[in-house]
Structure 1
Amino acid sequence: MNRARGSLLCAVLLAALSGVACQTAYHTQRAVPPELTAHAVVVYPFGFRWPEPAWRSFELSQRLISEALAVYGEQALFFGPSEFKLYRPQDDNAWVASNALSRLVSYGVRPEAGLVLRPWAERRVQTLQRELHDAQGRPVGSGAGEETTFLGHVEVLHPSSGRVLVEVTGEVVADPFAERTDEGADPSPELTRLMVGLTREALAALEDTLSPPRSPSPPLGEVLLVPWEAFSYAEEGRPPLSPQLAAMDALDAEVVRQQRLRFANPDLAPDALTRLARMPAGLYVREAPEGGKLAPGEVVVGLDGGPALPQALARARFAPTPVQVRIRLPAGDFAERLLP
């Protein structure tokens, strides 16, 4: 095959297999009793129906929680994957299939006022074989490629009644030739965008149902997640990343850390990411009200005896009793405080 024909073959093959990622409209089923009031939403670790490491389940659910907090953070308490133990992900009775109920009770939330958001996805890979033609319609060869389709699901369960209140589904075809601007931080950006959209749709269907258990205290500040908690997250049969990360070359380990920071904070500038990479796991305080309990440059490294995560800090505003937090000060010292 001459160079001109080879170039034409390549161009036609790219055109055949690329294009804008195609996404269908969401399909929503809603069966929410009008009398139901929910104070809390427990978000399950993301369910990949194909092999993925445990840290991916943690970080994708955390992304969905961040989206939920941005819109509904003052309407409900949210709990994430590393804050409870999940024994049977497919069991709709979450109060039996996990120990999440104990977390709700500590905030004065009754079982019937708790919901579970269960996100999961399937992946279908299809091999494509096409005969290619030139401008005159003459065959110039054949080309093969793969088309990956993600089918996303978000279910909202009411464990106390055994009902599925909301189910939202959608699909997206990955574009292998799309321009990537995140330096590999997101291994499947089409899936992430799909799941964010499905989660928003599911929570919008609950907007009249969500209600906080009590009025929140004033906002504590704007924080950025330093997501090293993902490295220690593990599930049965899926070990944590931390031992593998410790065995890596220092440069490779730094790349991993930078990528996970970028995934957790997709709009952050590179210089800010570099600064966060030197911080311990927790919540970096970017902005805070003057005279408040938190100050810019501090890092919340522990909250109420558990990890410092965005949803835990948001819950502190609704806590029935003061919550103890551990702070790393800008100078490197540590301090204990009570919030709110």
Structure 2
Amino acid sequence: MNRAGPLPRGALLLLALLGAACSSAYKIQRDMPSELSASAVVVYPFLFRWPEPAFRSFELSQRLIDVALSEAGEQAFFFGPSEFKLYRPEDDNAWAASTAVTLLAPYGVRPDQALVLRAWAERRIQSAQGELLDAQGRPIGQSTVEETTYLGHVELVHPSTQRRVLEISGEAQADPFAERSDDGADPAPELTRLMEELTRQALRALDEHLHAPREPSPAPATVALVPWKAFEYSDEGRPAHVGALALMDPLDGEILRQQRLRFANPRVETSILDRMIRLPEGLYVLSAPEAGKLAPGDLLLQIDGQTALPHVLARTRLGPTPAQAQVRRVDGGTSQILLP
């Protein structure tokens, strides 16, 4: 990317130190008993240690759930932030600090067979002064460059014993001069990549301890998320973004929706996202087995009475009974089906 004006000497020094945004080695602490066996993981809303709108906590948690599903979606049930109330996010006794335990019984999972995944991050910002030089190398002024470091943490907690069975942490530095190709969809891509990798490593460490209650059925479809559920999420001190979105200039609101749609689906083609932008919240079917219950272009609206989300759909593959799903067909009609 071409930028007008010379780079400050301090910025060049920071670039040499930063290079591309990079991560440090991960620090891992384990207290995982050999007898631990889990069939469910409850994912908490992402905790930012600095001010962010509520929808960011929801959508970053959803990104981490996507990572968890890719790693262990056939080994355990996963539950997300929109499905329970959280009162004390840092209390290791999650069954007393949230309503999450009520989610387990319909799937035949005992409380001692479930874990909680908590992810959170700190942000540290340091400033460096540098000289601005003209083409002849003569000083013409001063400039300030900020260095941002993200410190990420993922914890796996066994609420029934209030035991932290795994803690993994790492850090990533943001490159202030990196080119962004996502039209502003991710305000902190280095943080996102760090938290994805920490979650991936945490689930891999848990691999031998996750046991599905039954063999998973075949996946009914490949889907993309229409993520407007994120705007409905709120917690203490942070209201849902629905009201603010309604008051925004229509063009600004459209840009925000496009950005959130792209963040939720970083690998989906722009032409498909353009189709999805006008849809209600749910799961857009990208592909499906021939002669299956779903077809490309369908939109899963609800599953068992709640908004269709990736982990809700994934649970239908392991559930003890079929789930009832509401589908808006590609031709515009609506139907009810049973999954799997």
Q: TM-score scaled by structure 1?
A: 0.93
Give the match for residue 176 of structure 2: 176
CA RMSD of aligned residues (A): 1.9
1:144 CA drift (Å):
2.1
1:168 CA drift (Å):
0.4
Partner of 1:144: helix, strand, or coil? strand
* Structure 1 residue 58 corresponds to structure 2 residue 58: yes
- The number of aligned residues is 334
1:297 CA drift (Å):
1.1
Partner of 1:106: helix, strand, or coil? helix
1:14 CA drift (Å):
3.3
* Structure 1 residue 200 corresponds to structure 2 residue 197: no
Pairing partner for 1:14 from 11, 15, 23: 11
Give the match for residue 254 of structure 1: 254
CA distance in 2, matches of 1:162, 1:219: 34
CA distance in 1, matches of 2:256, 2:140: 43
CA distance in 2, matches of 1:226, 1:128: 41
1:230 CA drift (Å):
0.5
* Structure 1 residue 27 corresponds to structure 2 residue 27: yes
| Deviates further, 106-115 or 291-300 | 291-300
CA distance in 2, matches of 1:22, 1:129: 22
CA distance in 2, matches of 1:136, 1:56: 46
1:299 CA drift (Å):
0.5
Give the match for residue 312 of structure 1: 312
Question: Percent same amino acid among aligned pairs?
Answer: 60
Partner of 1:182: helix, strand, or coil? coil
* Structure 1 residue 143 corresponds to structure 2 residue 140: no
Give the match for residue 123 of structure 1: 123
Q: Deviations over 1:94-139 (max 9, x none)?
A: 1111111111111110001000000000011112234678999997
CA distance in 1, matches of 2:183, 2:251: 15
Q: Deviations over 1:236-261 (max 9, x none)?
A: 21111111111222222111111011
Q: Deviations over 1:204-246 (max 9, x none)?
A: 1101001111221221110110101011111121111111111
CA distance in 2, matches of 1:168, 1:210: 18
Verify the 8 A CA contact 1:186 1:263 in the aligned structure 2.
Answer: yes
Partner of 2:257: helix, strand, or coil? helix
Give the match for residue 107 of structure 1: 107
CA distance in 2, matches of 1:276, 1:338: 24
Specify every segment of 5 or more residues in structure 1 that has no aligned partner in the other structure, as ranges: 1-5
Partner of 1:171: helix, strand, or coil? strand
CA distance in 1, matches of 2:259, 2:70: 22
CA distance in 2, matches of 1:116, 1:336: 32
Distance 1:7 1:313, change over 3 A: closer
1:46 CA drift (Å):
0.1
**Structure 1 letter corresponding to 2:213:** P
Give the match for residue 327 of structure 1: 327
Verify the 8 A CA contact 1:54 1:240 in the aligned structure 2.
Answer: yes
1:298 CA drift (Å):
0.7
Verify the 8 A CA contact 1:30 1:205 in the aligned structure 2.
Answer: no
Give the match for residue 188 of structure 1: 188
CA distance in 1, matches of 2:167, 2:95: 19
Q: Deviations over 1:298-335 (max 9, x none)?
A: 10000111110000000011111111111111122211
Verify the 8 A CA contact 2:8 2:131 in the aligned structure 1.
Answer: no
1:279 CA drift (Å):
1.3
CA distance in 1, matches of 2:311, 2:175: 32
Q: TM-score scaled by structure 2?
A: 0.93
Partner of 1:294: helix, strand, or coil? coil
Verify the 8 A CA contact 2:40 2:109 in the aligned structure 1.
Answer: yes
* Structure 1 residue 155 corresponds to structure 2 residue 155: yes
1:16 CA drift (Å):
2.5
